[in-house]
Structure formats: structure tokens, C-alpha cells
Structure 1
Amino acid sequence: MRHDLIPSLHDVPADAAPSMVRSMIPATPAARRTVLKGMAVAVATAALVPFDWVISRRAALAVGPTSEWTRTNCRDAYSGGYAEEPSNWGGGPKACFGGWRMGGYPCNSNKRHFEGFRGYHDEGYTSHRVTTCSNRNAWRWTVSGKVYRCSDASTRTVWNDGESYTDLTISVCKL
């Protein structure tokens, strides 16, 4: 094989038929480079956008406050004190105070109140952690030698019939 018989990139063979694709691209080399650059940017964007979605979702799931009152209770934050109340949402001990609903159901894998959406039977819950106990979101509680984290959130509950209610909810998460 002779190298001098290989046509150059810019020389058109005498018997070449025009390409339909080539006829749509302007003849100047700068225009071809612009099209190729655009294609490269599109491919890179298509490859990288899913990574951005994953990273931003992880960040969104961790946006709520995570500061914690580490004493055995939050009594100091309430001048009149308080008494523990029974769990009424997914079970759990009588360990926390306040909240329209409280219990083990709203605990996430980090042992804090979940953030985002969850559905259960005919109810949908959208929760966002809030600070209540001396500007903290959670506090520790000891019941019969077992330690729990009580974490606060504002939760909007929507039922299948469209009725909704928003109030403070508490997760009772065993540590």
C-alpha cells in the first residue's frame, strides 16, 4: 500500500457524489469544528447531568437541621418543664414531648425525622425538619436505660379525599 494514494482530508475525489449530511454543514472548516464542538458538549452534558441529579438529591435529603441537644432531656428549653407523652405513630415508648403525631414511623436511616415525602395507606406525608429545642432539631431521651433521639419536623398530611393538615411531628428513634 502506498501512502501517496490515500486522499487528503480536504481533497475531494473527482468521482465523489455529494453527501446529504455534508450538504447541510457549511463548507468552511471553522463551521465544521463548531458543529463538532457542539456535539461534544451535548454528549458531555448528557453523560454528566445524571451525576448532578444524584448529588443534588442526596444534598436535598440532608438539608434539614441536624443539631442535637445531647442532655438526657430538653426540659431546660421549656420553663415549665413537661411530661413524656405516648407514641401514636408507628409505635415506640413514652419518650418525647409535643407534636401532633410522634413515634417510630418517621425515623430515617440516620435516626432522625425523615425529610421529603412518604406515603402510607390513604395518607401522604411531606416533612421538613425544624428547630424547636433551644434552636436544635433533636434531643436525646433515656427510658429504662435505652437511649432515643426525638427529632422534630413540620409535616403536611394529605388524605386521599384531598383533606390536609400541617403540624409538628416527632420521630422517636432508638439509638
Structure 2
Amino acid sequence: MRFDQIPFADREPAENSTPSHVLASIATTTPDRRNVLRGMMIAAATAALVPFEWLATRRQAEAGPTSEWTSSNCTDGYPQGYNEQSNNWWSSGPAACFGGWRRGSYPCSGGWHFEGFRSYSDEGYTSTRIATACGAGSTKKNAWRWTASGSVYRCSDASTRTVWNSGESYTDLTISMCRI
């Protein structure tokens, strides 16, 4: 077939033209009601069951690092110590940890910074624990302990991507302040 033989969609067909055999058979075919209903039932069942299949086969993501400096005054991780910074996430509590774009007890899960997705107000958070920010020199860990107001806390690091309802996003280090 040549391109010049393909008819134009916006022009009348030639007087002596006939539809192709395939088009002629489609135009005269009437579907059986049972086949139509069978197709609709299969489509509805598929649409309803596929999400369950996805949930059943989803594998749990591997947890990020959970190594920590265990000295309760953090001298093993930060020999010079640090000045605590107040919480600036969605929960209150004493100043214990420092650093990071946000700090506080909101991102705690099982004593460590949560991993995965959470949302609050108009923000969605996707966090992954890291072991590249906590400590001095070449030895770094995911968390350190700190004593504040008579309690011991684990300050755990994660890289968190925040997305607002407006579509704007920001990724930075966040710290969870988990009481242990």
C-alpha cells in the first residue's frame, strides 16, 4: 500500500469505493446480550479485586539503619556536646535533639524515626532513615541518646520529602525525638 492510496478522513469517499471486508462485518454484527453482560461482570470483578491483589503481594520495605550512639550525654557521637533545640514539628515536648529541618516526637515509630509515608494537615511526608548525619568524623550512626528533663531520648535521623497540597515539595534532614 502507498500513502497516496490512504483516503482522507475529512473528504467524501470516491463514488466507486466500498468499505473493507472487516468494516462491513463489524457494521452488521450485533453482540449477544449474554456476552456483553459477561464482559461487564468480568470488568467489574477485575476492578474490584485488583487492589486486593496489590495489597496481598506488596512486600514490606526493608527498614533503614538503626545504629546509635548509646552514651546518654552524646559524648561518643558529639564530644563537644550541643545545645538542644526546641521541637518544631506537630507535637510538644522538651528540647532534646538538635539539627535537621524539623525535630520532635511526631516522626517517632517504635523508638526510631518512622519510614514510609505519613500526612498531617496539608503536608505529606515520605521518610527514609539514614546513617550519614549523626556523629563526628568518619564514624556516623543513625541516632544518638540525650538526657533532657530527667528522661532519655533517642534522636534518630531521616531524609524526609515533604509535599504540600499545593504541589510544592522540599527534602531535608528531619530528627525524631523518641522517649526511651
- TM-score bracket for this pair, using the shorter chain length: 0.5 to 0.7
The 3 A distance-change label for structure 1 pair 77 and 146 is closer
CA distance in 1, matches of 2:80, 2:68: 21
Say which SS state the counterpart of residue 85 (structure 1) adopts. Answer: coil
Q: Identity, % of aligned pairs?
A: 64
Contact 2:130 2:159 in 1 (8 A): yes
Contact 1:116 1:126 in 2 (8 A): yes
Q: Corresponding residue for 2:95?
A: 94
Structure 1 residue 146: deviation in Å? Answer: 0.6
Q: Corresponding residue for 2:148?
A: 143
- Read off the aligned partner of 1:119 and give its amino acid letter: S
Normalised TM-score (structure 1): 0.63
Structure 1 residue 94: deviation in Å? Answer: 0.5
Say which SS state the counterpart of residue 171 (structure 1) adopts. Answer: strand
TM-align CA RMSD: 2.0
Count matched residues.
Answer: 121
- Read off the aligned partner of 1:107 and give its amino acid letter: C
CA distance in 2, matches of 1:100, 1:153: 11
Contact 1:155 1:166 in 2 (8 A): yes
CA distance in 2, matches of 1:128, 1:169: 10
Contact 2:69 2:77 in 1 (8 A): no
Say which structure is richer in helix.
1
Q: For residues 12-68 of structure 1, what are the alpha-carbon distances to aligned partners after superposition, in whole Å with 9 as ceiling and x for unaligned?
A: xxxxxxxxxxxxxxxxxxxxxxxxxxxxxxxxxxx9x93x53xx31xx1x5200011
> Are 1:69 and 2:69 counterparts?
yes
Contact 1:75 1:82 in 2 (8 A): no
Structure 1 residue 82: deviation in Å? Answer: 2.2
Match runs of 1:30-109 below 5 Å: 50=56, 53=58, 56-57=59-60, 60=61, 62-78=62-78, 81-89=81-89, 90-108=91-109
Match runs of 1:5-16 below 5 Å: none
Q: Corresponding residue for 2:161?
A: 156
CA distance in 2, matches of 1:170, 1:129: 10
Normalised TM-score (structure 2): 0.61
Contact 2:146 2:153 in 1 (8 A): yes
The 3 A distance-change label for structure 1 pair 146 and 85 is same
Structure 1 residue 158: deviation in Å? Answer: 0.5
The 3 A distance-change label for structure 1 pair 168 and 75 is farther
CA distance in 2, matches of 1:111, 1:156: 21
Structure 1 residue 88: deviation in Å? Answer: 0.8
CA distance in 1, matches of 2:162, 2:74: 26
CA distance in 2, matches of 1:139, 1:75: 10
The 3 A distance-change label for structure 1 pair 124 and 174 is same
- Read off the aligned partner of 2:145 and give its amino acid letter: R
Flag structure 2 segments of 5+ consecutive residues without an equivalent: 1-52
Flag structure 1 segments of 5+ consecutive residues without an equivalent: 1-46
Structure 1 residue 76: deviation in Å? Answer: 4.5
